[in-house]
Structure 1
Amino acid sequence: MTVTHRRYVPYSHAHYAGSLVDGAYALGLFGDVATEVCIRTDGDEGLFAGYSDVRFVAPVRAGDVVEVTARVTRVGTRSRTLELGCVVVCRSRPDRGESAAQVCDPPIVAVTATGTVVVPPVP
């Protein structure tokens, strides 16, 4: 089971010089795809229990379009292990003009993680 979301990163989310977005932005998106995984697999939103690995590989910037993916790699009685990834598929190009942007081919890997979600017991 794999779930993918795409999202435009608004400029209102930039916190740092260079229009950088904090790493928590990607973690929030991981929570969104994990929720959909739980709904699809267990009929419940579930809860994020924790991460065993998070790597911030490249920056996420305002004006990016990111693709966030969760893939189920292990199914326990009440837990699910997910491989999570956030890649930049489009990036703004302010050097070319105020609204210029380009498709990233290949996409830029920004954040990877392994996470665990838990779902309620089956009645």
Structure 2
Amino acid sequence: MSDDPRLGLTVTHRRYVPYAAAHYGGDLVDGAYALGMFGDVATEVAIVLDGDEGLLAGYTEVRFLGPIRAGDVLEATAEVVRIGRRSRELRCTARVVARAQPERGPSAAGVLDPPQTVVEATATLVVPGPAGTP
């Protein structure tokens, strides 16, 4: 199956992290924010590959590598790394591509070059089988 043209399909979403999402001191946002974005990109993967929203069945690994803060621009990417009969394994990555810089002023922000990887996960997506199969 290594020549399956669906392998390597990548979907990316970007979202501004609002200050209302801050949950901890220092305008920190909980890691579940990135997991919610992973669910969104996984849904789009299922739609593109299978014409169905599918179901994100679980994660086999989640690593929190850095902070997500209110005022960040967060990019979530899912890449298809394995195709099963009804399952798809996704490599998910969340990166901060821009960040607020309050020390420069109340509305100051800057692009991070390179972006900072803050969450990585391996996800399993399940889609319905062909019509008439269990």
Partner of 1:121: 129
Cα separation, 2, equivalents of 1:68 and 1:28:
10
- Give a deviation string over 1:14-60, Cα, whole Å, max 9, x none: 00000000011000000000000000000000001100000000000
Q: Name the one with the larger strand percent.
A: 1
Identity %: 65
Give the alignment of 1:84-123 within 5 angstroms.
84-123=92-131
* Structure-2-length-normalised TM-score: 0.91
Counterpart residue type for residue 68 of structure 1: A
* Structure-1-length-normalised TM-score: 0.99
Cα separation, 2, equivalents of 1:3 and 1:122:
24
- State the aligned residue count: 123
Cα separation, 2, equivalents of 1:103 and 1:72:
27
Which structure: larger Rg?
2
1:71 equivalent to 2:79? Answer yes
Question: Segments of 4+ in structure 1 off by > 4 A?
Answer: none
Indicate the RMSD between aligned Cα atoms, in angstroms: 0.3
Aligned with residue 23 of structure 1, among 31, 38, 48: 31
Cα separation, 1, equivalents of 2:130 and 2:14:
31
1:45 equivalent to 2:57? Answer no
Structure 1: gaps spanning 5 or more residues: none
